[in-house]
């Protein structure tokens, strides 16, 4: 949940529909790591009041370790004093970052560890977020070997809008059935919510996990 769901997102209705938690966008590296999601404080307060578990994510734009360190200083200032039941995720998916580092797995690992170590050292459960085209061996993800290493120490959250009715490549089935349960702690399977949510909570797109 982020500013894109507006100021009236109904967390109580979400809880009443049987959902247990939300992952909130807290901030990003946009504008030289000064941007805070304008709905974060309100979303955090209202999600907690509704009895939902809360985690957060920080969308990174950094392609150097120094840049990541600046972003993490920003992140930790935004979430200082807050209680989370789910991880604080470093969102690593920006195409400009990939271009800047030349799809170097070693450089990417250095960036991710700089972020995750900083989050963990601050006392939070740290996690890495990205999508199958980068992370997953079933999709020949360029960073799959790095994620396999990182997942031994930190939680990993993968996005892949898997279609079980797809009649295309068997790689879809392979990626979901073999790698997902063992490598990833959270799996984002849809970006479009469902009919129950649209009728009772929010009439728009929602990522589901």
For the four alpha carbons of 32, 72, 101 and 147, in that order, the dihedral sign comes to negative
Tell me if 111 sits within 8 A of 91, measured CB to CB: no
Neighbours of 76 (CB within 10 A): 17
Please name the residues in contact with 7: beta carbons below 8 A apart, sequence gap of 6 or more. Answer: 39, 42
**pLDDT score at 40:** 98
CA angle 176, 180, 183 (to 5 degrees): 155
**Mean pLDDT of residues grouped by 10 in the chain (209 residues)?**
94 96 96 92 98 98 97 98 98 96 97 98 98 88 96 95 62 60 85 90 92
**pLDDT score at 158:** 94
Q: Which of 66, 84, 82 is nearest to 29 (CA)?
A: 66
Cα–Cα distance for residue pair 127/118, rounded to 1 Å: 11
**pLDDT score at 95:** 95
Q: Please spell the DSSP secondary structure of 57-124, one letter per residue.
A: EEE----SHHHHHHHHHHHHHHHTT---SS-EEEE---HHHHHHHTT-HHHHHHHHHHHHHHHHHTTS
Please name the residues in contact with 58: beta carbons below 8 A apart, sequence gap of 6 or more. Answer: 25, 26, 27, 28, 29, 71, 72, 75, 88, 89, 90, 91, 115
**pLDDT score at 167:** 54
Report CA-CA distances (Å) from 65 to 19, 93, 110, 127, 138: 36, 16, 7, 17, 28
Place of tokens 């939902």: 52
Tell me if 159 sits within 8 A of 192, measured CB to CB: no
**pLDDT score at 177:** 59
Predicted TM-score (pTM) of the model is: 0.92
**pLDDT score at 139:** 82
Cα–Cα distance for residue pair 14/50, rounded to 1 Å: 9
**pLDDT score at 32:** 82
**pLDDT score at 176:** 64
Please name the residues in contact with 153: beta carbons below 8 A apart, sequence gap of 6 or more. Answer: 116
**pLDDT score at 65:** 98
């Amino acid at each position: 949940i982020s500013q894109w769901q507006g100021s009236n997102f109904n967390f109580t209705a979400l809880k009443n529909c049987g959902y247990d938690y939300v992952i909130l966008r807290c901030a990003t590296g946009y504008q030289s790591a000064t941007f805070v999601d304008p709905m974060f404080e309100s979303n955090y307060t209202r999600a907690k009041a509704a009895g939902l578990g809360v985690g957060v994510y920080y969308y990174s734009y950094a392609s150097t370790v120094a840049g990541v360190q600046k972003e993490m200083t920003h992140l930790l200032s935004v979430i200082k004093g807050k209680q989370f039941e789910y991880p604080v995720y470093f969102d690593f998916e920006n195409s400009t970052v990939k271009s800047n580092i030349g799809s170097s797995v070693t450089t990417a690992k250095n960036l991710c560890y700089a972020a995750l170590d900083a989050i963990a050292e601050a006392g939070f459960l740290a996690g890495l977020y990205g999508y199958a085209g980068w992370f997953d061996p079933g999709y020949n993800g360029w960073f799959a070997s790095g994620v396999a290493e990182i997942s031994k120490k930190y939680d990993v959250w993968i996005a892949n809008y898997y279609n079980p009715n797809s009649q295309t490549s068997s790689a879809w089935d392979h990626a979901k059935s073999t790698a997902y349960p063992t490598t990833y702690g959270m799996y984002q399977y849809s970006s479009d919510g469902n009919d129950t949510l649209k009728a009772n909570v929010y009439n728009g797109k929602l990522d589901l996990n």
